[in-house]
Amino acid sequence: MLENRIAVVTGGARGIGEGIAVKFAEEGCRVVIADMAEPQRTQSQDGSSGKGKESLFIKCDVSDGAQVQQMVDRVLADYGKIDILVNNAGIPGGNPRSITEISESEWERVLGINLKGTFLCSKAVVPSMKTARYGRIINIASMAAISPPAPLIHYSSSKAGILGFTMDLALELAPFNITVNAILPGAIRTEIFDHMVPPGVDKDDFFREMGKTIAPMQRVGLPEEIAGAAVFLASPLSSYMTGDRLLVGGGAPLINRINTGSGS
């Protein structure tokens, strides 16, 4: 569904970003991975080249406007266009804690990567997309944007900000045939959650038990399940959809509706 398309996936070296990069390649897309960390064992790049498509890794700090512009300029020089941007790069913000325990520097770092990075990357690709009168911008938010599971105000605020950003940019770019949508993942099994596993406890067992309580589907999600939603938003199947959001969390929001009585 993405044949002859060029995509930039920020934070595409591992986790959800890697899942998206590999899935895009399977759908015929050339993928550029923009990340501070090199792909683990070149999995994302192997995933792309394994389907006969080129892939490119560019080291880039998405919170640095100069690095972002250099990354975009290189992609345009090498490929001539950017059809799809996936703003996936982000950091979790650590363990849940009170607002009084979060420093100003922590706030600035989390919002700098999660929200400012989304702004800088989108700003850099919009001119070429406008010229082409085509584009797909996909922002990876979080279920925490609408229903924080625990106090982590800098992370939840950054992801909620992405939702407002998505709607505003979608309104601006709609006349140019550029869609802007967001994906809200629930609990997805990536290395971000590995620190939660107690010493001596098997990871598979831990996440199996966690899934029973965190979502009605009684399991933790996988990166490829977010990737499926991203392919939909990047493909012609979603051509009349913009400023919207997809919740991919195994039905997690239903738990809050039931607990608050709003499901009656």
pLDDT, tens digit, for every residue of 157-207?
999 999 999 999 999 999 999 999 999 998 887 776 666 677 888 877 777
Domain membership of residue 206 (yes or no) is no
Domain membership of residue 185 (yes or no) is yes
What's the rounded Cα separation, in Å, for the pair 114 and 204? 29
CATH number of domain containing 82: 3.40.50.720
Domain membership of residue 24 (yes or no) is yes
| Cα distance from N-terminal residue to C-terminal residue, the chain | 40
Q: pLDDT tens-digit profile of 7-56?
A: 999 999 999 999 999 999 999 999 999 999 887 644 445 455 445 466 89
If one counts the domains in the chain, the total is: 1
Specify the pTM.
Answer: 0.89
Judge residue 98's burial from the number of C-beta atoms within 10 Å of its C-beta, 0-12 exposed, 13-18 middle, 19 or more buried.
exposed
Domain membership of residue 203 (yes or no) is no
Is position 240 annotated as part of the catalytic site? no
Nearest to 89 by CA among 14, 195, 198, 190: 14
Q: Are 61 and 37 in contact (CB under 8 A)?
A: no
Q: Are 8 and 88 in contact (CB under 8 A)?
A: no
Domain membership of residue 256 (yes or no) is no
Domain membership of residue 212 (yes or no) is no
Domain ranges, residue 91: 6-190+222-251
Domain membership of residue 215 (yes or no) is no
Q: pLDDT tens-digit profile of 131-154?
A: 999 999 999 999 889 988 789 999
Which of 79, 134, 155, 240 is catalytic? The answer is 155
